[in-house]
Amino acid sequence: MSSINYSEKIPNNVNLSEDRTLQRALESWQPDFINWWDDMGPEGSTDASVYLRTAVSVDPQGWAQFGHVKMRDYRWGIFLNPGEANRKIHFGDHMGENVWNDVPGEYRANLRRIIVTQGDTEPASVEQQRHLGLTAPSMYDLRNLFQINVEEGRHLWAMVYLLHKHFGRDGREEADALLQRRSGQEDNPRILQAFNEQTPDWLSFFMFTYFTDRDGKFPLCALAESAFDPLARTTKFMLTEEAHHMFVGESGISRIIQRTCQKMNELRTDDVKKLREAGVIDLPTLQRYLNFHFSVTIDLFGADESSNAATFYSTGLKGRYEEGKRTDDHQLRGQIYKLLSVQNGQLVEKEVPMLNALNEVLRDDYIKDSIAGVDRWNKVIEKAGIPFRLKAPHKAFNRNIGALAGLKVSPEGRVLSEGEWKSNVDHWLPSGSDRAFVASLMGRCVEPGKFANWIAPPAMGINRQPMDFEYVRFN
């Protein structure tokens, strides 16, 4: 077991104390991180003592130790999964060669860009979510929000470690810039657009953690295949934490649906106005939020055709999702993939070299995975005996990146005129009044065991604690 050395300033399982230069670089970055956390971290959390899980080692027994911790004293550390002896590169032009423990000079710029782009999303989501604690629907949910926030902070540490350790001065500058960009700020925004959107309410938060954290899983899985071994080992450990974030999103939406269906049955109505008066979120509004988050999130995979994607794959920097489980030649030369494009106002399939379509391949894997969760939500509605089903929109709906950007397409996939789009968009995406209604439900409800009216309690407490457990102690 590789346990974490808590006697040092920065908990780690990478023998930090043996590399004094690196240790000093990180120790000088740490106060800037804490300043960033004080400025941009979760509002109202400074004095709270929160029932958090902290990693004390990367093995199954050690990575989820629970106990009350002051948020600011959370020990953000650097953990890599153990290395595999004799690991070989298993895709691309270097297939069969030994993996790299250092960055090859010719791939330095691309690797740095990949790590910075990933790293930038981590503090961005903390910034996006920083006001949510003020309107938490329960103490249980507040604790989950804080858990996600500290772990995204740790993911930032993970990427900063790689930058400091392997990229010298440029890496240190990039690490500083990660604390300087701000979500949604006009003159210095976060790199990816979805991370500049607001997360204004808890419905958005649950949609975000379901769709966008799941989206995070796919690039992380692709990086976990990387020929650059420290990156592969880092992202593998991040994935274990990411699973909880997605759980928070999936179960959060499930609980909202459960509560809404209960009210629908109680009042024997599907009338939106009556349900809103009863203080629950009607299913059509949930559908519109789903449409929004799904479409914004699939944009994150980038352009459908991308020579960068081909280069990242061929050079071994970034694999496909579950590369190791696939049975093709792992080189993909001469293979083709079908993309959507527009011809004479119609969506048509177009064949392109698969290597250039790897963003689209990853997006399609993601779509499959995220739709499975939508089906699980539908089970909750079905069980309540209500004839309504949620549906992920067509992948050409509301896109802003790639060949489909700016196209007006209905959630069913029909290409529309500008006028048709305009007259229907409020049925498909959250309108100002939807958002205002959801905002009107948000109020702080943090007595142990109490839940806001619009959401059902979870099936089980965190770490099997009772429902009225004091997850957060406000000091």
The DSSP element (H or E) to which 142 belongs, if any, is helix 139-166
Nearer to Fe ion, 201 or 242 (CB): 242
In which residue are the tokens 């040092």 written? Answer: 8
Instruction: Select from 174-182, 239-247, 327-335, 338-346 the region that touches Fe ion (CB under 5 A).
Output: 239-247
β 472-473/346-353 pair status: unpaired
Closest CA to 358 of 389, 331, 395: 331
β 472-473/49-54 pair status: antiparallel
Instruction: Select from 83-91, 237-245, 355-363, 444-452 the region that touches Fe ion (CB under 5 A).
Output: 237-245
What is the C-alpha separation between 427 and 179, in angstroms, rounded?
38
Nearer to Fe ion, 239 or 267 (CB): 239
213 is a contact residue toward Fe ion (CB under 5 A): yes
Residue 186 CB-half CA count within 13 A: 0
What's the closest the beta carbon of residue 371 comes to Fe ion, in angstroms? 20
Nearer to Fe ion, 111 or 124 (CB): 124
What's the closest the beta carbon of residue 70 comes to Fe ion, in angstroms? 22
CA end-to-end span of the chain: 36
What's the closest the beta carbon of residue 387 comes to Fe ion, in angstroms? 34
Amino acid at 139: M
Decide: 148 and 129 in contact? Cβ < 8 Å: yes
Nearer to Fe ion, 129 or 254 (CB): 129
Which token pair is 421? 């789009």
Nearer to Fe ion, 149 or 410 (CB): 149
Q: Can you state the percent helix, strand and coil of the chain, rounding each to 5?
A: 50, 10, 40
Cross-strand bridge partners of residue 228:
100
What's the closest the beta carbon of residue 238 comes to Fe ion, in angstroms? 6
String of contacts with Fe ion for each residue 2-41, x by CB under 5 A: ----------------------------------------
Q: Which of 112, 155, 165, 259 binds Fe ion (CB under 5 A)?
A: 155
Instruction: Select from 146-154, 270-278, 324-332, 364-372 the region that touches Fe ion (CB under 5 A).
Output: 146-154
Nearer to Fe ion, 155 or 190 (CB): 155
What's the closest the beta carbon of residue 217 comes to Fe ion, in angstroms? 8
Instruction: Select from 65-73, 161-169, 238-246, 273-281 the region that touches Fe ion (CB under 5 A).
Output: 238-246
Amino acid at 137: P
Nearer to Fe ion, 241 or 282 (CB): 241
Cross-strand bridge partners of residue 337:
352
Nearer to Fe ion, 147 or 258 (CB): 147
String of contacts with Fe ion for each residue 331-350, x by CB under 5 A: --------------------
Helices and strands per DSSP (H, E), number in the chain: 13, 5
What's the closest the beta carbon of residue 350 comes to Fe ion, in angstroms? 34
Q: Which of 164, 181, 233, 245 binds Fe ion (CB under 5 A)?
A: 245
DSSP 301: G
Decide: 133 and 146 in contact? Cβ < 8 Å: yes
Outline where 384-463 has alpha helix (H): 418-428, 432-441
Cross-strand bridge partners of residue 338:
351
Decide: 307 and 356 in contact? Cβ < 8 Å: yes
Nearer to Fe ion, 51 or 208 (CB): 208
By CB under 5 A, the count of residues binding Fe ion is 6
Instruction: Select from 19-27, 126-134, 241-249, 307-315 the region that touches Fe ion (CB under 5 A).
Output: 241-249
* Residue 347 neighbours by CB under 8 Å, 6+ apart: 340, 341, 396, 409, 413, 415
Instruction: Select from 115-123, 156-164, 247-255, 292-300 the region that touches Fe ion (CB under 5 A).
Output: 115-123
Decide: 453 and 35 in contact? Cβ < 8 Å: no
What's the closest the beta carbon of residue 257 comes to Fe ion, in angstroms? 22
Instruction: Select from 47-55, 207-215, 291-299, 363-371 the region that touches Fe ion (CB under 5 A).
Output: 207-215
Interacting residue ranges for Fe ion, rule: CB under 5 A? 122, 152, 155, 213, 242, 245
